[in-house]
Every structure is written in structure tokens, then in C-alpha cells.
Amino acid sequence: MVNSTPENETVFLDGEMIGSTPLERAGIPAGTHEITITHDGYMTWSHLITVRQGQLTLVPTARLRWAG
């Protein structure tokens, strides 16, 4: 589950676009993955997560900073 401030940010998992925030996604394989969140005019946010099989993984709320 991925949330951000502001919302409607583009979410990438290991470099592949998977949707926009808020986002709940099932079927991510167990292991370590990189979540990246982007939005025009804001600094890119990135975080490593560890997904465990059969468990919900919450990503810390991404608070994007204005790049201007």
C-alpha cells in the first residue's frame, strides 16, 4: 500500500510504472524492491521495501517536496 502527499503521484516498482497514489497492489514477489514516486515540479522520492510472502507491506507516506 502506497500513499503520498500530494496524491495522484506516479509510482514505480523496480523501475516499472505500476500506477498512481493512493495505490494498493497485490502479487508483488517476496524480496527487496525499490519504490519510486514522481510528479512534475516535485523532487523524486525513493525507498527500499522488503515484501514478505503473505503479509501486507506498508510503505511510509511519501511527502514530496516542491522542486522550485
32-46 confidence digits (pLDDT tens): 999 999 999 999 999
Q: Which residues contact 35 (CB under 8 A, 6 or more apart)?
A: 2, 11, 12, 13, 46, 47, 48, 49, 59
Cell of 42: 516535485
pLDDT of residue 57: 87
The stretches in the chain having pLDDT less than 70 are none
